Amino acid sequence: MERNSENKITSFVLHILAMAFMLSDHLWATVVTGNADWMTCIGRLAFPIFAFMTVEGFFHTKNLKQYAKRLLVFALLSEIPFNLMMSGSVIYPFHQNVLWCFLLCVGLMSLNEKAKKTGKWWIFGLTAAGTFLLGTLVGMLSFMDYMQYGVWMVLTFY
């Protein structure tokens, strides 16, 4: 097997695992009754995998604008069902789905990459610090899933 096909297989397996872990968590939160805390423990493994895959997608996409656009479309499409699940209301400003975190992080990584291309370490350093602070603030103030901690995890993988 050539290296590229191994990467595709690994990526596919990671996506399937993350989706299965996420399903476990969501089933526990919505359908399964009784004490099934183990399901949410398994489910908590999904976010780090998706965070890692977001960074991988950022570096391996052929078209970053299309990648960001897809994240935006799915963030918008999933927001109403997410709000209904979280609050029973179509609009719920106090908790946003996790795709907003990934979209924000793609933007932050893009800013860092542009600063890196200048070749000036001080510009990159200031940009990295600025994007970290911006991500922290937006994560906290927007109430996105995992808040600033999700942003920090994606940026750590970056």
More confident residue, 46 or 85: 46
pLDDT for 8 equals 84
- In this predicted structure, what is the pLDDT of residue 1? 42
Please, are residues 154 and 102 in contact by the beta-carbon 8 Å criterion?
A: yes
> Mean pLDDT in the chain?
92
d(CA 155, CA 158): 5
Pairwise CA distance, residues 61 & 81, whole Å: 28
Distance of CA 103 to the CA centre of its chain: 7
SS3 string, the chain, reads CCHHHHHHHHHHHHHHHHHHHHHHHHHHHHCCCCCCHHHHHHHCCHHHHHHHHHHHHHHHCCCHHHHHHHHHHHHHHHHHHHHHHHHCCCCCCCCECCHHHHHHHHHHHHHHHHHHHCCCHHHHHHHHHHHHHHHHHHHHHCCECCHHHHHHHHHHHC
The pTM of the full predicted model, rounded to 2 decimals, is 0.89
Report the percent of the chain where pLDDT is more than 70.
Answer: 98
Lowest mean pLDDT among 16-20, 30-34, 138-142, 154-158: 30-34
Please give the Cα distance from 40 to 46 (Å, whole number).
Answer: 10
pLDDT greater than 60 at residue 78: yes
- Does residue 63 have a pLDDT over 60? yes
Q: What was the pLDDT predicted at 86? A: 84
| pLDDT over 60 at 25, yes or no | yes
Distance CA 78, CA 86 (A): 12
In our burial notation (b when 16+ CB lie closer than 10 A, e otherwise), range 131-146 reads bbebbbebbeebebbe
Predicted confidence (pLDDT) per residue in 146-155, tens digit: 999 999 999 9
Mean pLDDT of 113-126: 96
